Amino acid sequence: MKKRNKVRILSIDGGGIRGIIPATVLVYMESEIQKATGNPEARLGEYLDMVVGTSTGAILAALLLVPGTNGKPKYTAQEALDFYAKHGEEIFNKSKIRGLIGQLSKASKFSEKNLERLFAEKLGDKTLDKLLKPCLITSYNMGAGAAVFFNSRETKPGMKDFLLRDVLRSTSAAPTYFDPKFISVNGKKMVNLDGGVFANNPAMCAYAECRGTKFDNWEDATNPNKPFPTAKNMLMLSLGTGGGYIDLEKAHKAKGWGLLTWAKKTPDIMMDGGLDTVNYQVKKLFESLEHEEDRKNFKRVDFPKQASGGPPPYAADMSDARAQNIQRLKTAGGMALEDACTAKPGEHTLDKFIELLIDES
């Protein structure tokens, strides 16, 4: 069997309920693959070699790769979208900590009980190593003061792997939104926060992980002895969640902000601050490649900045799961799709990218 020259990588940002934007893109991609292959049962996860996600992006990654009874991905991309569209109210609005005493005694806005129940319902006792393709999920261990990269291919013989639902709770434990996740496995105790505190856009993590991963049925066409892929061997799609629109009303008065105001604003600033930086870094990596077609093999898809410079149609708040905002996020996902499918100099359209994913299957 001829080995593939490219490895296919999907990276998905964090962003809470705004995960509806990349999920809308995933639904389109899966539908187009089904049309192109003539297989209505085709799943997007089957056309990827590695998926990397932070927070809401990690939840989408897991739903794309968790196995069903037939060895294929259990959930469709539409079901991944429905996780947010149908359950956002439970995760956020209905989980809000109420009452003056509760609000004063808790630093987090929401109870994690509904989120954990949904993870248990969707994933059961599946462990991280059971995911169908290599998957990397980011988190931050407060106990060790270090970044954590949950890797689905790092299980050691005789050691228990992490429950997938615990990993997802870890990566989605955004400061001031949900409490940290406590995990104890193989004698290790972890106190984990949302990976968005250091890698809300995990595309560079995806690149680095890919550079040290051995992929089945892959081979560099010009150097068969090459052990690991480099940028020229990668097809990387990076999906954003419409970040970059933090509500910093009266930012010009920040010098006079008190501790409470800074406490409210800092998590969002931290999580959104690095999005464009990482995108710039990865784009520059690919732009350094010799051949133009290889330079096009990194694509970023996100809600397009408006020419007017005005705010987006959806709420900047990552926890706004009101029905009207969910609909606005779906509309924003459609706008991201339209932009991604529009031809631009030096870029593949999303449709061309999907075609390449299929060609490398």
How far is the C-alpha of 31 from the C-alpha of 1, rounded, in Å? 27
- Rounded to 5 degrees, what are φ and ψ at 205? -60, -40
Q: Half-sphere exposure (CA, 13 Å, Cβ side) for 113? A: 6
CB 47 within 8 A of CB 358: yes
How far is the C-alpha of 350 from the C-alpha of 29, rounded, in Å? 8
Q: Annotated catalytic sites, by residue?
A: 55, 194
β-strand partners of 299: 237
Number of Cβ within a 10 Å radius of residue 52: 30
Q: Tell how strand 234-239 and strand 146-151 pair up.
A: unpaired
Contacts of 263 (CB under 8 A, 6+ apart): 176
Start-to-end CA distance of the chain, whole Å, equals 12
Number of Cβ within a 10 Å radius of residue 83: 21
Cα 94 to Cα 115, 166, 264, 321: the distances in Å are 11, 21, 21, 10
Helical axes 56-65 vs 77-91, angle rounded to 10°: 140
CB 87 within 8 A of CB 118: yes
